[in-house]
Amino acid sequence: MNHSVVRASIFLGAIGFSLVSFAAERTPTDNMALNDPDQLSWRLFLAVSSRSGSSQALFSTWASDHDTFQMDPVFPEETTPLAHHDPVLGPAIQTGDGPSAPTEEVRRNRVAFDYIVENNLFTVSGLVAAFGRVLTFPAGAIEVKTNWLPIEDIPDFTLNRVTAEEVPTLFYVVPDGSGNLHALIAMHLISKIVPSWTWATFEHELNPGRCDIIGCADAFGAVEARVIPNAEPNQGYQDCRISDALSDLFATADVDPLFQNYCLKGSQTDFTDNTGLPVRLGNSITEAGFLDRSSCMTCHGLASFNEQGLPTTGAGFIAGQAQLGPIQPSWYWSFVPHYANGEDLAPRSISAMRIATSADFVWSIPFCAVDDTDPDNIPPTRCASK
């Protein structure tokens, strides 16, 4: 293990220790995941973006969907090229006149990878066997979902606020398996520090719709803690100005300076606020088309599969009816009332029949699992690399 990976591991370990320790001197305010989620989001962002041995970000050394969901899953031994694919959920956004829509890549650390492999959740037959079980990732699991554009499309995408020559000086850029360069424009970051995971989404400061519709909120890392959305979408926003506290974190982190050009769009720790209103959080790239009804926790709370090992869509999500608020029992159970006779006004009992099994908030499991039901004809997954 190289020194940068060791530093990142220590950094993540320190976060985990501070959140799960039950030492006598600890107080409830030590729970950063719940009491200071924006600071935790930034600490995790710096940890997963820290330089690896190849100088690329640490998350580039983790297992992609392509590494995970194949008949012989293999965790990479070093940095691997971008393994991107078309977005699995929701419509892709296409801004300006560029020929390409953003692609996405999902990477997971060794803890998350091992849980999927050890429980055979990378195949449809494994999901069939797991139907009805309670699936719970270990506390150290982390997943990163990123969105990318070819660098030649960035000028149009940013409303010509940058030139083609400026792209590598402002965006984090990596090659894909064919050697083509792509620029990072958005990132979702989740960690199993709490049972329902921690949720954070980041966007490049030049994304034209960065704070559209639901605004931006960052109580830790931004000088302007709340950015009100523009009246008209896709008009762009001012560059993010980082706080002294975040500047201090960057000064001690071994990360590419280009990551300072990315902004925390928001963090989510619950399904509703303290008045009962649904919490909305989404990314102008990842959730394009349904941002007004986007909730990271609710959306991923729908991640499930049926007894055939196929993904369920939870009350019409794929049809554009994105859900808000808490997980509903009807997404997972069918309730059958039982009456003693036809004259009863109320049922004497109600039985519940399971219709879906939770993938513990991880959409990749039902959507990327290899269909091995016909061993002689195994098709590529929906998450195969482009």
* H-assigned helices in the chain: 3-20, 32-35, 37-48, 65-68, 110-118, 124-130, 154-157, 167-170, 244-252, 296-301, 364-368
Nearest to 203 by CA among 83, 291, 301, 140: 291
Indicate the pTM of the whole model.
0.87
Q: What is the average per-residue pLDDT within 364-372?
A: 94
* Res 93: pLDDT: 37
The one-letter amino acid code at 307 reads E
**Per-residue model confidence as pLDDT tens digits over 226-282:** 999 999 999 999 999 999 999 999 999 999 999 999 999 999 999 999 999 999 999
Residue whose token pair is 């990163």: 144
**Per-residue model confidence as pLDDT tens digits over 177-228:** 899 999 999 999 999 999 999 999 999 999 999 999 999 999 999 999 999 9
Q: Could you give phi then psi for residue 175, rounded to 5 degrees?
A: -85, 155
Q: Where are the domains of the chain?
A: 3-368
* Res 313: pLDDT: 66
pLDDT of 3 higher than 80? no
**Per-residue model confidence as pLDDT tens digits over 5-23:** 444 443 454 444 343 333 3
Rounded to whole angstroms, how far apart are CA atoms 167 and 60?
20
